[in-house]
Amino acid sequence: MHHPLDHLLALILAVLFPLRAALFGFRRLKRAPLDQLPAVRRSVYRDAIVIQWSLVAALVALWLGFHRRWGALGLELRLTPGLTGVVLGMLLIVVLLLRQRAEVIRDREMLTALRRRMDKLEVMLPHTSDEFRRFAWLAVTAGVCEELLYRGFMIAYLSNWMDVLPAAAVSSVIFGIGHSYQGVKGVLQTAALGAFLAALYLVSGSIYVGMAIHALMDLHSGHLMMKAYTRQAEEEREVAAESGWLDEDGASGIGGDPEPAGGA
């Protein structure tokens, strides 16, 4: 793959996509007034979905235009021992995640600790069920599109100049840089996740397993954070009601000109 369009797509993924996410996505959320944040959050979700599917559409057009093998992107599903092992491992991960979810959702302290750990990313995470429905589309989009772009295309692209294992490593670093808005720790964690997904791809010979795991991980994280923020809002309303700031319907209990404590 030495066509200028290949180089352009690689440049977008390695440089322009991270810049766009940091400067026009996350920064927009950080600067949004509190009362406008939910609307901005939904807009950022929508924009990310459109951009990622547009890049995938460009990739598909590139492959069709040059009559390339879909297997080069990991889009051929072959039943191999590696694929069987990865699928069984994925099922085990799903079971463990479901057990973890149930435990965390029931535990008030664990939800509080979760909110603290995700404090820097709170502005981009879903806070309500309506926001999560939109976030779910983004999670599925990321699972499909990012795997196809960063694992399928980028590994194939880099393999023109290096062996597949170094190509997978470099693609994982690029994937981590693509999440630079999360800070150094976030970049390292995302790069490690990229390496894990790349390993799954190389072992199974298929990109589909990585797509499923990626999407499920994002759905799990987003839904868990939505539950954490919903519980926080409920607790704040309970405290306000107990202190007399809210009435039984959740509306402000202060109206008119209240008499000062102790009388006039």
106-155 pLDDT tens trace:
777 888 888 888 888 899 999 999 999 999 999 999 999 999 999 999 99
Domain membership of residue 40 (yes or no) is: yes
Domain membership of residue 254 (yes or no) is: no
The phi, psi pair for 136, rounded to 5°, reads -60, -40
- How far is CA 126 from each of CA 18, 129, 234, rounded to the nearest angstrom? 21, 8, 16
- Domain of 167 in residue numbering reads as 4-242
Phi-psi region of 74 (alpha: psi -120 to 50; beta: other; left: phi over 0): left
Give the tokens for residue 191: 């790069």
Domain membership of residue 11 (yes or no) is: yes
Q: Which pTM was predicted?
A: 0.83
Domain membership of residue 256 (yes or no) is: no
Domain membership of residue 167 (yes or no) is: yes
218-247 pLDDT tens trace:
998 899 899 889 888 877 777 777 766 555
Domain membership of residue 249 (yes or no) is: no
Angle between the N-to-C axes of helices 108-117 and 81-106, in degrees from 0 to 180, rounded to the nearest 10:
110
Domain membership of residue 262 (yes or no) is: no
Counting the structural domains of the chain, the total is: 1
Domain membership of residue 100 (yes or no) is: yes
